[in-house]
Amino acid sequence: MTTSSPGTAGDLGSALAAAAAELAAAGVPAPRVDAELLAAHLLGCSRGRVRALAFTDAPVPAGYADLVRERARRIPLQHLTGRAAFRHLELAVGPGVFVPRPETETVAQLAIDAARARLAADGTVRVVDLGTGSGAIAAAVAEEVPEAEVTAVELSDLALAWAERNLEPRGVRLVHADLRTALPDEDGRYDVVVSNPPYIPAAAVPNEPEAADHDPKMALYGGGEDGLALPHAAAATAARLLRSGGFFVMEHAEVQAQALARHLENAGSWLDVRGHEDLNGRPRATSAVKE
Q: Which residues are annotated as a binding site for S-adenosyl-L-methionine?
A: 131-135, 154, 196
Interface positions, 164-203, toward ligand SAM (CB under 6 A): 178-180, 196-198
- Decide whether 156 or 286 has the Cβ nearer to ligand SAM: 156
Q: Are the C-beta atoms of 167 and 139 separated by less than 8 Å?
A: yes
* 114 contacts: CB under 8 Å, gap ≥ 6: 191, 192, 247, 249
Output 58 or 93, the one with its CB closest to ligand SAM: 93
CB of 15 to ligand SAM, least distance (A): 32
- Amino acid of residue 203: A
Residue 153 sits in the site that holds ligand SAM (CB under 6 A)? yes
Q: Which residues are annotated as a binding site for substrate?
A: 196-199
Report the residue from 3, 8, 132, 287 that binds ligand SAM according to the rule CB under 6 A: 132
Beta strands 283-290 and 270-277 are antiparallel
Stretch that binds ligand SAM, among 1-9, 113-121, 133-141, 279-287 (CB under 6 A): 133-141
Footprint (CB under 6 A) of ligand SAM, residues 48-107: 98, 100, 104
For residue 219, the minimal CB distance to ligand SAM (Å) is: 4
Strands 242-251 and 283-290: antiparallel
Site for ligand SAM, rule CB under 6 A: 98, 100, 104, 131-134, 136-137, 153-156, 159, 178-180, 196-198, 218-219, 230
